[in-house]
Structure 1
């Protein structure tokens, strides 16, 4: 599935009705206990606080998203969600890989706060190359070391 990365900021969300609808549909599929607010309120508040969403785009539709808050050394990820109808097809893994590549190009690392994560979330992050920080406050993406040519 050729999934590409699409960044959504407040201006994009406000100007593109399809983007707004797709984000709303993505987060409507999230379990209610996962989001701090109802889906549309969460999206609006995150974007108004200068956050962005990194989204998985396929055939001009957004299928998955993760909220991103930036600081000088890291992109902090939260509330990762893939549309129910698209789960278990590799969209989420591809999205996280694309986000990792974009953050690396920007000279940043990826981090996820540990506190709200379930054990299943932590296991998935470990399989994807995230490691807990020494103090356990967050998980940080640590890409596999590239093999040097012999």
Structure 2
């Protein structure tokens, strides 16, 4: 069964628990400009820009997908620690890229400057990386 990528509009109690688990082990730099995981999740859900990867009814990874005219930004991408290195982030990026393309936009990753993880993911998936303005 593949990882299903979807925009989360109404997060169930289980979804909320899964999101907390996804961001629990995230490095602190990933949350900027938010104060932490709870703030990021709450804002992304309120803005309707949270996408997540689901497998067997559980969320494994999530990110913030903001849509602008011509350019979409995927930021705050994180995969649950026990699920990392299994292609979940790649699936999220690829699906976000497909959604952007269908809307006539280009997908770009968005991350704070100097973080090798974001640079490596962008290079591996051939997606432009932009630096989050402070």
TM-score by length of 2: 0.84
Matches within 5 A, 1:1-150: 2-9=2-9, 12-13=10-11, 16-36=12-32, 37-48=35-46, 50-113=47-110, 115-131=112-128, 138=130
SS at match of 2:128: strand
Match of 1:143 in 2: none
- Contact 1:4-1:98 at 8 Å conserved across structures: no
- Contact 1:51-1:70 at 8 Å conserved across structures: no
- Contact 1:5-1:95 at 8 Å conserved across structures: yes
The CA RMSD measured in Å over matched residues stands at: 2.0
The higher relative CO (CA closer than 8 Å, separation ≥ 6) is in 2
Hey, what's the Cα distance between the residues in 1 that align with 2:75 and 2:16?
Answer: 18
Unaligned runs of 5+ in 1: 133-137, 140-150
Q: 1:117 to 1:70 in 2, by over 3 A?
A: farther
The CA deviation string for residues 6-46 of structure 1, in whole angstroms up to 9 with x for no partner, is 2113xx12xx2122221121111211232132211221123
Post-superposition, which runs of at least 4 consecutive aligned residues in structure 1 deviate over 2 A? 45-48, 112-117
TM-score by length of 1: 0.76
Give the total of aligned pairs. 129
Q: Which has the larger radius of gyration?
A: 1
